[in-house]
Amino acid sequence: MSKATRRGWAGTSLLGILLVMAIACEDSAVVAPSDGSITVTLNPTSVTVDPNAPANAVKSSDVRAILLDKDGRPVENAVVYFSSTGGRLVQPGSNPPVELDSANTDSQGIARVTLLVTGTDPDEVDVTALSGALTDTATLSKGVVGEQRPPTASFTIEPCGTPCVGAVGDIVTFKSTSTDPNEGDVLTYRWNIDSTVNGEDIVDRVTQSTRFSDSYQVAQDLVVKLEVSDDPNAFTSPGTVVWDDETSKSYKICANHAPVADAQATVGTSRSVPVSGSGSSDQDGDPLQFAWQCGNGTTASGENAVCTYLTAGTFTITLTVTDAPSGCPSRSATDTTVVTVP
């Protein structure tokens, strides 16, 4: 028979004991003899919990109540009620654990439950068995090695560049680089992304994957926040857990277009050839920078420049035009022209 967990029988009133005896009489054909004995044993009697190792974070102890009559003979099929001042009392061998606070004695007069304790339970947990007017208590000692340490939230955004921004239409990848000092913990991540275009929480997702990707079709500013938790319930019930750490970054999606390069050269009788990029343009109106490769290993700069040659011949002149947008990565374009120097 299973009823609500009872804890701390030391202060039980006589009325409470009589009520339990009455329930036992109703539900079982055998009543513990008042002149018999009940003995509680724990195996083990002490445990050590390591909260930093999830596989060892819950420790168990086998609880046995031995019920004998006045002649020392086992009392079979009597109900024994169990309570504890900490931990959980569960059915032996159940997975997942099934709560249990009573059991019937077997042919050896033994009733069994299992006590589970974690690092948050008291250092000493009393387990009490009650059957009829008979009661006994045993104590489990619990030690803790190490202290549960929370994870640290961190992440990267790719592409980044200088400054750390992305472009309209490109794939942007958000990757958690969070760390956790506890071996074996499974981390859960909650991403929130606010946008100057679409408002708050255009992305609000809870995942155990370390990364996800997205793309943006218009220019906008993003505020990216990552929260991280090592609570095993964080993935299935994110609203009920405390997130251990969080961090955020600003990220800009730019709509910068590449400029158009136009290289022109004027060849006369001189071996000094004027070059011009004045026909170049940028639809965003960004300032432009001009870099020339004269085709003979020499370079020049500026919208209008001069390439100088020491020998006659045919040379390919290359112009690279680079824009300089505010707060966004620059983009470049090239154009070539061929000159014959007399």
Residue owning tokens 């387990």: 127
pTM: 0.49
Which two three-digit tokens encode residue 140?
A: 């489990």
In a domain, 167, yes or no: yes
> Does 299 share its domain with 218?
no
Domain final residue pick, 254, 279, 299: 254
Cβ-proximal residues to 311 (8 Å cutoff; 6+ apart), any chain:
271, 341
> Does 28 share its domain with 115?
yes
Q: What is the pLDDT of residue 241?
A: 85
> Does 132 share its domain with 180?
no
Q: What is the pLDDT of residue 163?
A: 79
Q: What is the pLDDT of residue 64?
A: 97
Q: How many residues does the chain have?
A: 342
Q: Which domain holds residue 331?
A: 264-341
In a domain, 1, yes or no: no
In a domain, 238, yes or no: yes
> Does 206 share its domain with 238?
yes
> Does 168 share its domain with 76?
no
Beta strand pairing call for 165-167 and 245-254: parallel
pLDDT digits (tens, 9 = 90+) for 124-133: 999 999 999 9
Q: Which residues, given as ranges, of the chain have pLDDT below 70?
A: 1-29, 52-55, 147, 199-203
> Does 93 share its domain with 64?
yes
Q: What's the domain count of the chain?
A: 3
Which two three-digit tokens encode residue 172?
A: 């942007």
> Does 223 share its domain with 285?
no
In a domain, 289, yes or no: yes
Q: Do the Cβ atoms of 81 and 94 come closer than 8 Å?
A: no
User: What is the helix (H) or strand (E) element at residue 306, kind and residue range?
Assistant: strand 304-308
Domain final residue pick, 219, 254, 289: 254
> Does 23 share its domain with 116?
yes
56 burial level (CB within 10 Å; 0-12, 13-18, 19+): middle
Q: Do the Cβ atoms of 228 and 176 come closer than 8 Å?
A: yes
In a domain, 205, yes or no: yes
> Does 309 share its domain with 201?
no
> Does 15 share its domain with 106?
yes
Q: What is the pLDDT of residue 329?
A: 78
Q: What is the pLDDT of residue 265?
A: 96
Which two three-digit tokens encode residue 186?
A: 């499974």
How far apart, in whole angstroms, are the C-alpha atoms of residue 280 and residue 260? 5
Bridge partners (DSSP) listed for residue 250: 223
How far apart, in whole angstroms, are the C-alpha atoms of residue 291 and residue 228? 47
In a domain, 199, yes or no: yes
> Does 121 share its domain with 161?
no
How far apart, in whole angstroms, are the C-alpha atoms of residue 166 and residue 194? 16
How far apart, in whole angstroms, are the C-alpha atoms of residue 226 and residue 190? 6
> Does 306 share its domain with 235?
no
In a domain, 243, yes or no: yes
Domain final residue pick, 96, 111, 144: 144
Q: Do the Cβ atoms of 253 and 168 come closer than 8 Å?
A: yes
Q: Which CATH number covers residue 24?
A: 2.60.40.10
In a domain, 150, yes or no: no
Q: What is the pLDDT of residue 119?
A: 84
CA-CA distances (angstroms) from residue 220 to 203, 211, 316? 14, 21, 41
Reference 172, options 163, 164, 180, 183; nearest CA is 164
Q: What is the pLDDT of residue 203?
A: 64
Q: What is the pLDDT of residue 35?
A: 94
Residue owning tokens 């804890």: 7
